[in-house]
Amino acid sequence: MSVPRALRFLARESQAGPIQLALLLLVSGALAACTTREPGIMTWSEYGRNASSFRWPYLFRSELGDGELLYFGSRHSYAPEDPQLSRIEELWGRFEPTLAFNEGGHPPVEPSRAEAIRRHGEAGLVRFLAARDNVPVTTLDPSQAQEVAWLERSYSPEQIKMFFVLRAVSQFAVREGTEGLESEIERILRIYHNTPGLRQPPGSWDEVGSLYEKHFPGRGPVSEVPSSWFDPARDDTVLNEIARASGDYRDRWMVQLLAGHVGEGHRVFAVVGGSHVVRQADRLRWALSR
């Protein structure tokens, strides 16, 4: 018997008067609401307050019927010798997935483990393992066009495109330095030109520099855009705000995607940045308990 039904039974069988009965039913209703409320995604402020307590990898594992999820929350790494990547391989072999997911689109399958990691990080490793073992694999992320359409509810097209371009600048500079940065951004801009919602300026490296100076005057060269500007738990610039909105949308998408496939009976192995798993855990636990 559920807690609310049990309280009603006690009220009916007891000698409670009208006031006591009203209180019992009030408690019953409150408990019913507590037991059925859907947990949301952890807020960025809550994550930020507790960020120092989280350790990577952050693992989440749960079952639903014949399906099971092993969700690996990683620290992003492009170093083949990183023990975290060996841990992914170890868990992959023991879990024997029937379906795999990686963060970050659809990187190509590289000819070796080391090359896959150096070029694409954990996503490259997941693709390499899936190809080796003939496991279907796809991305955890919505399409960029879908993400852009969501962000356009709150931000201008120019702000959104600068967010994606400058984040790419920061990520490349962290991994590779500034040599080859201009040609890499020109390559990315050609891809963006074919993406709905990202066809407006900037369309060249020179335009990136001009718009950077317009939006962030006196903040140094565009090649040195700080990675902290894309941290959703910070408030340095509007880019942090867009990163939060993007992260919220992507987290909700990932939970729905993973729960759906586990519910279909798949053994799902997914690798993503650790903050996503932390923020999604309560919502996933609820979705996979139903």
State the pLDDT at residue 253.
98
Q: What is the CA radius of gyration of the chain?
A: 23
Give the global pTM: 0.84
CA pair distance 272, 58, nearest whole angstrom = 10
State the pLDDT at residue 33.
41
State the pLDDT at residue 163.
98
State the pLDDT at residue 94.
98
DSSP the chain: --HHHHHHHHHHHS---HHHHHHHHHHHHHHHHHHHPPP-PPPHHHHHHHGGG--SSEEEEEEETTEEEEEEEE-----TT-HHHHHHHHHHHHH--SEEEESSS-PPPPSSHHHHHHHHHHHHHHHHHHHHHT--EEESSPPHHHHHHHHTTTS-HHHHHHHHHHHHHHHHHHHH-STTHHHHHHHHHHHHHTSTT--SSP-SHHHHHHHHHHHSTTS--GGG--GGGG-TT--SSHHHHHHHHHHHHHHHHHHHHHHHHHHTT-EEEEEEEHHHHHHHHHHHHHHTT-
Among candidate residues 107, 237, 222, 100, the one with its CA nearest the CA of residue 166: 222
State the pLDDT at residue 17.
52
Residue pLDDT, tens place only, 142-166: 999 999 999 999 999 999 999 999 9
State the pLDDT at residue 242.
98
State the pLDDT at residue 290.
78
State the pLDDT at residue 37.
77
Domain ranges of the chain: 3-36, 42-290
99-102 vs 58-64, strand pairing mode: unpaired
For the chain, list residues with pLDDT below 50: 1-16, 18-35
CA pair distance 5, 27, nearest whole angstrom = 11
State the pLDDT at residue 22.
43
